[in-house]
Structure 1
């Protein structure tokens, strides 16, 4: 029987302590400089348009084009389904393609652990960690819920009340709202979480009154909030964000000692060449130094968190160990 958790989610940081720099082996700098993509790079968002992966892919592609960092374009491609599992299966079958990349975040760890994908981060090549984001809770502009406390009180009174998210059950958005509910004194399983194929679909469902609230990445919510149809009632950052989200109160401000970080990065097929891997990680490091990137990431509330391929790979292994424990506490661990 599931027992109430004793605040194990008080600070669910998805960012590990800084890792020691690790040198990439097997490829000289000269070889890496010689390799360049010979055609458009397929840059995959494993979800429908409008979510966090899609926002990352399109923002990075736009900056690379604007700053003329590559002679080839980075073509944004959406492959939704299974919280990322459909895209991962397709990418795994094309495991030697040097011209294919995909956006990634905690679901690459959480979805396989929950048993809904047979592919894990071990089946792909880490290229670079890019940024960190935070979770945000949105309601309709006419919603009766003015604070996150109002929403939690409604969930306690009516466990059937639904909260949508753009990641699969047991994955990032589900974990984020379950952890916040636990800090509020609720059983995480009281949250009726509804999974959608990306944050954009979740937003549409919220505006259509099919769910009462949505939790997603703060960065991807900026455009929706500017339209005036939605309101943000809490963000999981330690302090208020800057830019367009500066007016959104944190969980901490509202009496819940809770934060939740969302890292985002880039991966490639498992057997990408060492030369291509080095090219991409250096390309993204240069991208993050540009004014275009700094302006875009500030507007979206992202914090730079670059790691190269080796560092990112070690970080992913740490995440797998951490979230095995988290999903076990929720009774969702399958692997």
Structure 2
């Protein structure tokens, strides 16, 4: 049975224009958004587009105050945000990295010790190889890894992050064992793949896109349920993992959260504001299409439920792969 992480859920909310939460003057001052990663990364890009589109649509009475506090796979920034009052004037990123870091035992707080506001996007994984690789299909790669376990080198980002878990899930679904090699960033992953230091890599479509377009990298498959609808010249022939014989689909996600205990009125105002932004053509043009993202909108209790289901699945997978370090 296929594992599907990051399924699209929908929570309907009446969309309001710019203004204050009913019965309050919220937001009466600029809202700081703590980005727990370095400038220029995927989360930072998402937050800056939220701020820009929010200003264009006049959704926020005042611009967001974006603060980058990176370190510890997001732990430093999220811990900083959690230390602030739950008064609606500090929000931060929600993502599946909180779940993974918690399960690896590297977070000082439980993954769900936040106020869930809204999940905004999904990003898929691909298995990619150099254009001249002897592995022409995903079945070729799997066959080689089965024939000689732990000899096929596959690159990913980090050694205790989401790529490690996703590779473990792929191994379980396909019955193989790779030699996983972690690098500090997606850019380093692609560089080392091109340099011949690894045989394959796990990468998001946006990370591999330029090298695929240049004809230097080929994708053997993508983790989505259906083929990608991005640039047809680049992605039209990329099969899903399921089509290629590996019964698995998965994704990463990003969204917005706040300190535990935020007032319902403030959460509802933020949900409505984010929904208006993500339904706009500006969001599609400036974020989803430009950065090869898939839009979703799952809010509040529905978002928390999805995170809890994801945690249970990830915990089982990590236990089976010997990755679980949390006592």
* TM norm structure 1: 0.78
Distance across 2 between alignment mates of 1:226 and 1:302: 17
> 1:149/1:299 Cα in 2 relative to 1: closer, same or farther (>3 Å)?
farther
The residue correspondences of 1:1-335 to structure 2 (distance < 5 A) are 10-15=1-6, 18=9, 29-31=21-23, 34-36=25-27, 38-39=29-30, 41-46=32-37, 49-50=40-41, 52-74=42-64, 78-96=68-86, 98-156=88-146, 157=148, 159-166=150-157, 168-169=159-160, 171-186=161-176, 190-223=177-210, 225-226=212-213, 228-244=215-231, 245-295=235-285, 296-298=287-289, 300-335=291-326
Residues 94 and 116 in structure 2, CA contact (< 8 A), matched pair in contact too: no
The answer for unaligned runs of 5 or more in structure 2 is 15-19
SS of structure 2 residue aligned to 1:254 = coil
**8 Å contact 2:8–2:296 — kept in the other structure?**
no
Contact 1:165 1:216 in 2 (8 A): yes
Secondary structure in 1 aligned to 2:251? Answer: strand
**DSSP 3-state at the match of 2:23:** helix
What RMSD, in angstroms, separates the aligned Cα atoms of the two structures?
3.4
Q: Deviations over 1:25-62 (max 9, x none)?
A: xxx95135x31262363341535744x43443344344
Write the distance in 1 (CA, Å) between the matches of 2:31 and 2:193: 36
More off after superposition, 253-262 vs 156-165? 156-165
Distance 1:45 1:305 in 2: 21
Residue 128 of structure 1 and its aligned partner are, at CA, apart by 0.6
**How many angstroms does 1:270 deviate by?**
2.7
Does 130-139 or 147-156 show the bigger shift? 147-156
Judged with a 3 Å threshold, the aligned counterparts in structure 2 of structure 1 residues 194 and 317 are, in CA distance, closer, same or farther, namely: same
What stretches of structure 1 move > 6 A for 4+ residues in a row? 19-23
- Quote the Cα distance in structure 2 between the aligned partners of 1:286 and 1:17: 18
Question: Does the CA-based 8 Å contact 1:161-1:192 persist in structure 2?
Answer: yes
Preserved CA contact (<8 Å) 2:54 2:60: yes
Q: CA deviation at 1:210?
A: 4.4
Which has the higher mean CA deviation after the structures are superposed, 251-260 or 297-306?
297-306
User: What's the TM-score once normalised by structure 2's chain length?
Assistant: 0.79
Offset, 1:174: 2.0
Mark the CA change 1:155 to 1:85 in structure 2 (over 3 Å): closer, same or farther: farther
For 1:139 and 1:75, locate their aligned partners in 2 and report how far apart those are by CA, in whole Å: 40
On the 8 A contact 2:53/2:277 being kept in 1, the answer is yes
Query: Comparing 157-166 with 237-246, which one deviates more in the overlay?
Result: 157-166
Query: How many residues were matched structurally?
Result: 316
Alpha-carbon spacing, 1:153–1:68, altered in 2? closer, same or farther (3 Å):
farther
Q: Is the 8 A contact 2:34 2:77 kept in 1?
A: no
- In structure 2, how many angstroms separate the alpha carbons of the residues matched to 1:191 and 1:308? 37
Distance 1:307-1:167 versus aligned 2 partners, 3 A rule: farther
